[in-house]
A and B are shown apart, each in its own frame.
Chain A
Amino acid sequence: MNAITPRNAPENAYNFAYLDEATKRMIRRAILKAIAIPGHQIPFGAREMPLPYGWGTGGIQVTAAILGPRDVLKVIDQGADDTTNAVSIRRFFARVANVQTTTRTGEATIIQTRHRIPERPLTEGQVMVFQVPMPEPLFRLEPRLAETRRLHALGDYSLAQVKLYEDIAKQGESGSSYNHPVMVGGRYLMSPSPIPGFDNPKLHNSPALMLFGAGREKKIYAVPPYTTVESLDFEDHPFRPVRAPQRCSACGSATSYLDEIIADDKGGRIFVCSDTDHCAETQGL
């Protein structure tokens, strides 16, 4: 795996990191407000980006707003640095911000992600930027934003609790395998973005700053360092993170989150780490 990629020749046609400075300031204000009220969704004037909605425009705008010339950026999608969307976003910032990029979790100052949190524990000073499709954790239970805003104000999360209760009563466990809602700082119910439940515990008391950007839905929210993040559950049915009960066939890890790969047309399958950097590090590459 390649580590740090040096800076390229600058692309002069656009402002540093694409967005103009006034827009970045607007986004930073939303970020500061989000940090001040952990887990609370802050509306912001999201812009169209040259990448489509659903590809990570919220995360890209957050990254563009906080990125400085000395930052080292890592971009992952599904845990991997080499998936097409991660390649595309990394290229975008290498081009319009001329920053150093890396695949190493330990070297990055900013990690933009879609659907995963790296296996390697994050450290103080690192910032995770999550791409969020639907920031409202209650949207499947109540699609109306005016109503969900009221429920958040009242701290009324009975809809989510009843849904969880019904899941357990009907099928013995929670029905959500990813994007399982979390309580942040004991106050706000929050969508952790579509990370697998396996990653939820990594949000709890993390030394890193977690920023969440939803472009199409025009919301930013945050989990500041060392904030309690508890997955929604019941005392007698505690939250259970799941992973495939196999070992990685490349590095042998029995603790990392695994992708299942169809190996042949006879039902053969193998399992490999979703976090490509972690897998390479474990293999000593």
Chain B
Amino acid sequence: MYVAVKGGDAAISAAHAWLGQRRRGDEALPELSADQIDEQLGLAVDRVMAEGSCHDRGLAALAIKQARGDLIEAAFLLRAYRNTLSRFAACEPIDTGAMRVQRRISATYKDLPGGQVLGPTFDYTHRLLDFALAAEGVPPPEPEEAEAAEGTMPRVTELLAREGLMARDMPGGDEAPPDLTREPLPFPTPRPLRLQSLARGDEGFLLGLGYSTQRGYGNAHPFVAELRMGEVEVFLAPSELGFAISIGDIAVTECQMVNQFAGSAQNPPQFTRGYGLAMGHGERRAMSMALVDRALMSKEMGEEATAPAQDAEFVLLHADNVEATGFVEHLKLPHHVDFQSELEKLRSIRARWQADREAAPVQEAAE
């Protein structure tokens, strides 16, 4: 007699134990600490913070350890955790103009006020595997310290705006900005929500879309007006105080991308900007985001919108890798009930098809 498949309970426990063993790996090797991940795999931590929508290096490092280095799984862990925290206030807008810059470059100007600061970048390295790194214990070379730049580092886009060449983005009103993590996305989607969605979107997806706008799918002609990375102060104005106090510093990467705009009856030809902001050090993300942000403005600019990157519903509803991986991977779950009805359906349709075929020669003879 048939006995139905059982044992889900025991199987889950055993699978999780095995997973734990795999996570630890060879016990002859020292265990990786979350601190080591934070310090030595810092860009992975940055990506997980961005896609996990939570600025906490320690938690992101723990998530990476728990996820065995699977960064989407780590972002998912961090997102699930952040939802258990109560929201007690919203901070003031951060001022990236006042950033303590570690890196700042402009592609549109050879030199500019504040100078070009390369900072800790892969740019201009030769991509050769460094076998010296495989031999542990070799200390990295000491970087030469340049003199701190004098004065401020004005935003390049502001320089263009002063000349009337760049459309200014008007600051929002007093009303609180909409919050993607509290409300579902409406369509059409206002720009603040588009930017929020892109800021936590999958880096690879944003990268591919941004790339497509460069290859003729969306007709973009972008320039990196400015890319800056460093620490900004976060201010909070508790209602009982009535003024803002600093609650700490976070590292962010900001990209302002310049695009041409042909002009319209109302607006003169000018540059428009695509904007990207990422928590931590995430240049690829910030740049891709800026490209896609600009592509998504095409409708508002009265431009022809035919490319995938210009389609807000397509971009925003598929950018979230926690959502995407969930739905793709859910195909692993049992579907045998639905499949059973598919089986019956197919048999029924095939039987009818067969019957029709058997009747067919008679019809042909009649014609």
* B183:A144 contact, CB within 8 angstroms: no
* A218:B184 contact, CB within 8 angstroms: yes
B89 at the interface (CB under 8 A from A): no
* A20:B86 contact, CB within 8 angstroms: yes
Name the CB-closest residue of A to B338. Answer: A178
* Closest chain A CB from B320 CB (angstroms): 8
Q: Which residues of A contact B327 (CB under 8 A)?
A: 53-54, 133, 216
B4 at the interface (CB under 8 A from A): yes
Main secondary structure of the interface of A (DSSP, over half): loop
How many A-B Cβ pairs are below 8 Å? 155
Q: Which residues of B contact A243 (CB under 8 A)?
A: 344
Stretch at the interface among B77-85, B151-159, B246-254, B291-299: B77-85
Q: In the docked arrangement, what's the CA distance between A146 and B316, Å?
A: 14
Name the CB-closest residue of A to B356. Answer: A172
* A53:B330 contact, CB within 8 angstroms: yes
Q: In the docked arrangement, what's the CA distance between A228 and B7, Å?
A: 39
* A274:B83 contact, CB within 8 angstroms: no
* Closest chain B CB from A71 CB (angstroms): 22
Stretch at the interface among B108-116, B262-270, B345-353: B345-353
* B8:A84 contact, CB within 8 angstroms: yes
* A216:B188 contact, CB within 8 angstroms: no
B interface size (C-beta, 8 A): 51
Main secondary structure of the interface of B (DSSP, over half): helix
Partner of B1, one of A19, A79, A216, A249: A249
* B344:A177 contact, CB within 8 angstroms: yes
* Closest chain A CB from B202 CB (angstroms): 13
Q: Which residues of A contact B186 (CB under 8 A)?
A: 43
B residues 289-324 with Cβ under 8 Å of A?
A: 313, 322-324
* A244:B337 contact, CB within 8 angstroms: no
* B2:A270 contact, CB within 8 angstroms: yes
* B4:A272 contact, CB within 8 angstroms: yes
B residues 127-160 with Cβ under 8 Å of A?
A: none
Q: In the docked arrangement, what's the CA distance between A54 and B333, Å?
A: 9
- List 13 extra interface pairs beyond A88-B12, A216-B323, A216-B327, CB under 8 A: A23-B83, A43-B184, A44-B184, A52-B329, A53-B325, A55-B330, A77-B334, A78-B335, A146-B313, A171-B352, A218-B184, A250-B1, A250-B2
| 10 sample A-B contacts, Cβ–Cβ < 8 Å, listed by A number | A52-B329, A54-B327, A87-B12, A88-B12, A133-B327, A146-B187, A175-B345, A196-B341, A197-B341, A259-B340
B residues lining the A interface (CB < 8 Å): 1-2, 4, 6-9, 11-12, 76, 79-80, 82-84, 86, 181-188, 313, 322-331, 333-338, 340-345, 348-349, 352-353
